[in-house]
Amino acid sequence: MEHMRHKNLPGTTEARLLEQTHCHVLAMMFAGHETTASTMLFAVKYISENPEVLAALQAEHDVIRESKDKDAVSGLTWDDFKKMNLTQHVITETIRLCNPIGLLWLETKDDVPMQGYVAPNGWKVICAIREAQHDPGNYENPKQFNPWHHGQPHHSFCHPIRRYLHSTAQQRGCFSTLQQNLNPANRLPFFGFGGGARLCLGADLAWLEILVFLHQLVTKFQWELCGEDVESYFPLPKLSKGLQINVHKHIKSDPIPSAC
């Protein structure tokens, strides 16, 4: 409020400042919690409904789990995250199917030609994320959950949203793949975290949270779905029953700290 008060914009009142503060707090709560929780929820649903994907995901994480020294307290490391190739694709495909954000509001900074039309400079433009990510012209069988839309499990770890500097990417040995993924002409439409100057600031944190969650889930637990849920997408993706499941401890489970 102090920052907005010092800007002293025309029409600013204490009531208006309080209303804007409420809006900012709600936006931060939504962006920092609801979006990640929604992605976790649908990821569990999709992998539960696709045994082949679940088996491959468990195999990927069992390799990481078994590489840990059982006599030492060893959490997940960056090298472990780099091995979660299929998990990366599972998250991407989950967001593609049920992006927590349905629309992006943009403003043109120049005349933008598009399929025979022109959006004049200064126009407000709405980008329908879900429609682009469900377009059969972009994805084969777009309603089907298929992590391999985004690459094969053995592909190197370099996700399109990564924003590493040239030197860092070279150091990790994946600069050529990074450059290829960052070029929009070389990849399928994916707007899960926005893009450009308005790329989600919390994208990397959200990504790590979901990776840790899935690792702990598939290495420590088994579960079954309790009945069917009906999906809806307005105003946000949700399930009619909230995804009720029966959970059992995995018989091969050994504790792996989630700290990284």
Distance CA 133, CA 189 (A): 6
Residue 63 lies in a domain: yes
Residue 8 lies in a domain: no
Distance CA 257, CA 260 (A): 8
Residue 55 lies in a domain: yes
pTM for the whole structure? 0.75
Residue 255 lies in a domain: no
- Per-residue tokens: 163: 């924003």
CATH number reported for the structural domain that contains residue 245 in this entry: 1.10.630.10
For Cα atoms 214, 136, 243, give the angle at the middle one, nearest 5 degrees: 35
Per-residue tens of pLDDT for the chain, all 260 residues: 666 666 666 667 778 778 877 777 777 777 677 888 999 999 999 999 999 999 999 999 999 988 876 655 568 888 899 899 999 999 999 999 988 887 888 888 999 998 899 999 999 988 888 888 888 888 888 999 999 887 654 333 334 434 333 333 333 343 344 344 444 444 567 788 877 777 788 888 888 999 999 999 999 999 999 988 888 887 778 899 999 999 998 765 454 444 43
Residue 31 lies in a domain: no
pLDDT number for residue 243: 92
Residue 238 lies in a domain: yes
Residue 9 lies in a domain: no
Domains identified in the chain, total number: 1
Measured CA distances, 129 to 95, 103, 122, 135 (Å): 10, 6, 21, 10
Residue 134 lies in a domain: yes
pLDDT number for residue 40: 94
Q: How many CB atoms lie within 10 A of CB 57?
A: 24
- Bridge partners of 249, per DSSP, are 221
Q: 87 lies in which domain range?
A: 36-154+191-249
